[in-house]
Chain A
Amino acid sequence: MITVVDYYVVASILFAIGALGFLLRKNVLVMFMSVELMLNSANLVLVASAKSFDLARGSAFALVSVAVAAAEVGVGLAIIIALFRLKATVDAEEITNLRG
């Protein structure tokens, strides 16, 4: 029997994978993808909870967050392209103009 707790466990694992990817990978695009994985694991929690309570609110929230994440991706990719045009790299280790 799959309960809502199992969904929470899966979501937490996905979230952890995303967080580790963000912290360990050096490619800016991959870091950004990791964040998307984290956001989607949060959506999984929302949808699973909504199902367990039999309330639509959590599912609606997940839809809203998907739309917002899309906006964030749009801005994010634009900034990454601007960076690539300037530095011809997407490696986070080489982006070190600001230090102090």
Chain B
Amino acid sequence: MFQDIALAGPILLPALAALLLLGVELLAGGRRSQGSFLLCALGALVALIYTGYFLANGRTGLAFNGTLNVDNTALLIALIVHFSALLAVLLSRSYLAARRDADAPEYYSLVMAAASGMAMLAAANDLVNVFLGVELMSIPLYVLAAIRRKSARSVEAGLKYLLLGAFASAFLLFGMGLLYGASGSTLLSALPAEIARLETNGGLAAFGVVMFLIGVFFKVAAVPFHMWTPDVYEGSPTPVTAFMATATKAAAFGLLLRFTPVIATGMGPEAGSSMLAVIAVLTMFVGNLGALRQQNLKRLLAYSSIAHAGYMLVGVAAIVAEDGGEIALTGSSAIVFYLGTYAAMNLGAFGVAVVLDRGEGREGVNELKGLCSERPLLAAVMAVFTLALAGVPPTAGFLGKLYVFSCAVQARMYALAVVAVLASVVGLFYYLRLILLMYFTPREEGAEPRLLRTDSFLAVASFVCAVLVLWLGVLPAWFVDFVEATVRG
């Protein structure tokens, strides 16, 4: 029993922090202080170190009758989730200081609750736990999106997220019901064998897999289930958007990786991988083409995050195509590597967005004009994140793309790999536009003076992200080896 609780630490620690924070806020009786910020950052840090310790010492295994499978992939995903939570909390402080209406007592508690759900989703090995993880992740995020309840934009973002999130959950749950009906089991690891054994049910499993995947596609913002993303990302408080964009993706792709054997058995490797490949291609192009015409930095990053979900789906399609074997391992480690680097560069870019934030609906890309001459360091940091998101060497973004696309080649899906490279080329345009604005476009005459909102926590967070992005890009060997070695177990 104690062993089980220890293994579930990456899930339980943030949950504990969430409860503690609620209690502290209750006792503080509305007097706002730095206490909950520090407590929350500490909670995320402890969860991060705990997960890292388990990972480094290979403390993995099944917990609670096999309903949680805390393997290395789950721990790596939890590590990315807790890293994102910590950095989002660090970004929050200066944002909340500027926006008093977002500074609700439950803000930090909700961040920790969502992190707990994400870690649970990554480790879930039972459909019940998958559902609980998805909801524990989503419900706090609905509230966080709408936390500025006097702001029509924020509430609208929360409402759209809630309605479409609940719609997606219904698909997910219906799919789970059908999978249970096709197998008589709720254990994810037992599903493929049981589905194959009860083959009489015919299309039931395939139908279940499709419904389940629709639910997951909503969560990762894959086309055609991406409509909510730009609105929700724009309307939510910026640090919350950063957290949503990185940690939710990590958790949902962790679930998808664990679900690949079920896709391959339920739909057949060819049908499953073809469907995933089509969705991946659509997602990459809709994301990149949508971003081209955006004037709002947060909306631009939202479309960019859609495109990145597409790149990662290329890897998932490759894994399903081969159904087990070598590619399952290389594919998983490529996607986990991508998720880790994406977390660093995206959180960094959103950090800069927090600094430049002028207020609602004015998060325009024009704020970047002439940034280089006024704030060379900020411009340089943003340039690093932008190049990494575009996938330009020597940043980590390039290597992430390289690994994921080479999985498609390994699975002999050459056309998919070529299309993915073409999509990244389209993506180059809008990322380079940001760089051009920063370095080669002077600021307009008579423009309002900049309001740079920053503090030391935000600076540290952006610096850590920039260093990670460059370090993983220039000297990736240790991280790649680490991820590969741990995913292989």
Contacts and interface: CB of A to CB of B under 8 A. Distances in A.
A57 B173 contact: no
Interface residues on chain A, size class: 35 or more
B37 to A, nearest CB: 24
B131 interface: yes
A57 B153 contact: no
Nearest to B150: A86
Majority SS of interface residues in chain B? helix
Contact of B180 (A46, A64, A71): A46
B162 interface: yes
A55 B183 CA distance: 12
A17 interface: no
Interface stretch (B141-149, B268-276, B383-391): B141-149
A100 B181 contact: no
Contact of B169 (A31, A72, A82): A72
A46 B186 CA distance: 10
B157 interface: yes
A53 B149 CA distance: 47
B158 interface: yes
Given A68-B131, A68-B132, A79-B162, A35 B167 contact: yes
Contacts of A39: 166, 169-170, 173
Contact of A8 (B132, B153, B181): B181
A64 B128 contact: yes
B177 A43 contact: yes
A99 B132 CA distance: 32
B156 A83 contact: yes
Contacts of A58: 177, 180, 186
Contacts of B156: 83, 95, 97-98
Interface in B156-177: 156-160, 162-163, 166-167, 169-171, 173-174, 176-177
Query: Which 8 A-B pairs give the minimum distances between C-beta atoms?
Result: A45-B177, A38-B170, A49-B181, A42-B173, A42-B174, A98-B231, A53-B184, A46-B177
Given A48-B181, A80-B159, 4 more contacts: A8-B181, A83-B155, A83-B159, A86-B149
19 contacts: A38-B171, A43-B173, A45-B177, A48-B181, A58-B177, A61-B186, A64-B131, A68-B132, A79-B146, A79-B155, A79-B159, A83-B156, A87-B152, A95-B160, A97-B156, A98-B157, A98-B160, A98-B231, A98-B234
